[in-house]
Chain A
Amino acid sequence: MGKSDKAALLQGTLDMLILKALQSGSLHGYQITRWLERTSRSALIVEEGSLYPALHRMERKGWVTSEWGKSESNRRAKYYQLTQLGRAQLAVEHEAWNSLSNAIGLIMKFARLR
């Protein structure tokens, strides 16, 4: 898939995707980027520059916590971990996303019938 074919993330979905990435365990920022690329089979473009402000905002809100540790390459890296609050938030955002995608699906289906 060429770069031009990749979808930019919908506004407001980045937080949900980050929370989802962290659901399986603590990750550093680059691992989150890689997880999103790999899981979406490189279909989604995560703007790396917008990942970190989002992580810091979520940390301030208490959705994630962070601690410095050693990476696989033995370098200092900052690992993020989901909190209880973050899990609840993920559930809320997941629910909202399902409603939205269902609604969009219905619209697209109705448009096709006409």
Chain B
Amino acid sequence: MTELLQTIRQYIRTPAAQLDQLASDRIQQEIAFHVGERTLDLMSDGMPPDEARLAALKRFGDVDQVVQQCRQETQGGLALLHRIHLAVTALLAVSVAGLFAFFLIDRQSHRSVATLPAAITSLIDNDWSGDVAGDVQDSHGNPIAGATVIVSVKAWPDESFNMRSYRTTTGQQGRFTLSGVTPQRDYYEVNVVALMDGWEMQSQYVTQTTGGQRAPLRFTLEPATRCLVHFKDESGRPLSGVQVRLKDRIASSGEEHFLYPGGARHVTLVSDDAGRISAPWFKTGDRVALGCRYRQEDWQTVTCSITAPTINVCLTDGAFVVSKE
């Protein structure tokens, strides 16, 4: 430590000290020459060398004082300027360090002010590397490729509720995998829907109390009944442009299948010019709930039983009503 301080001190002094030393050396050389010349002159007048040397020195005066005066004249205020320069540089360095420290502390304080809610922190801190995987097949065990799979993951971080939904399709082998969608450490629930035209819509709702990975899911789908939904207005004219979304299906056996689309891209059907949509995901005897909207009105839930190949829905006074016919 002492050595370091000494090195720093030397470094600070070096330019001024070097200048000083150089000036002193040159002035002394100059004076030595002068005294030497005077000594030679006195010797040539017959004075013994030692005496001549002393006389020359005496005549010159105080050598040290002259050196000091010459040095001051040569350097002028350079040494002082050098020290002022060093002081200003040091001040600037300290200021920059101070500003840096200030911004660092300021940034940290802002971070603490902007602390995220515990629920969000808990959500972020969790390890969301769990997968949801499975396959979709028919009752004969044949894979169904191209089926839409909508996965909704529910979690309750720090007593709050969070649900995120994802959408994918099955591959040639009827398999699907959604990676990095479930938490590894917390309780969560997953609703998985398999949807394929011509096949009954199915969902599976599973819970995972300990977090982590769960076994692959298997969907075995039965063929759906051909079903058309026909939208009309009060005058019996077809309503085109009605948007329809599947919400849930209760099979005749009582099995319930729900779809929680959440933020995932929904499966939305739109009625054609004849006011018709094909809804090929149900079986006769099912009770289904559909989300319906005409133009930009609010979504309404239309519940109906699949008893006939065509279901007629009439828009009366802004409300969708299933016709009995």
Contact mask B26-54 → A, CB, 8 Å, 1/0? 11011101101110100000000000000
Q: Which residues of A contact B40 (CB under 8 A)?
A: 73
Q: Which of these binds chain B: A75-83, A89-97, A101-109? A: A75-83
CB distance from A112 to the nearest CB of B (A): 37
Chain A interface: which size bin?
20 to 34
Quick one: which of B33, B59, B62 contacts A75, CB cutoff 8 A? B33
Q: Report how far A21 CA is from B27 CA in the complex, Å.
A: 21
CB distance from A86 to the nearest CB of B (A): 16
Chain B interface: which size bin?
20 to 34
Determine whether B254 belongs to the interface, using a CB cutoff of 8 Å to chain A. Answer: no
Kindly identify, within residues 5 to 38 of chain A, every residue whose CB is under 8 Å from any CB belonging to chain B.
Answer: 28-30, 33
Contact mask A47-87 → B, CB, 8 Å, 1/0? 11110110011011000000000010101111000000000
Contact call A49/B38, Cβ cutoff below 8 A: no
CB distance from A50 to the nearest CB of B (A): 8
CB distance from A57 to the nearest CB of B (A): 4
CB distance from A28 to the nearest CB of B (A): 7
Residue of B nearest to A78 (CB): B30
Q: Report how far A66 CA is from B70 CA in the complex, Å.
A: 14
Determine whether B2 belongs to the interface, using a CB cutoff of 8 Å to chain A. Answer: no
Quick one: which of A28, A53, A78 contacts B73, CB cutoff 8 A? A53
Contact call B29/A47, Cβ cutoff below 8 A: no
Q: A30-B38, A73-B40 are in contact. Are A60 and B33 (CB under 8 A)?
A: no
19 contacts between A and B (CB under 8 A): A29-B34, A47-B61, A48-B38, A48-B59, A49-B60, A50-B66, A52-B27, A52-B69, A52-B70, A53-B66, A53-B72, A53-B73, A56-B73, A60-B76, A75-B33, A76-B29, A76-B33, A77-B33, A78-B29
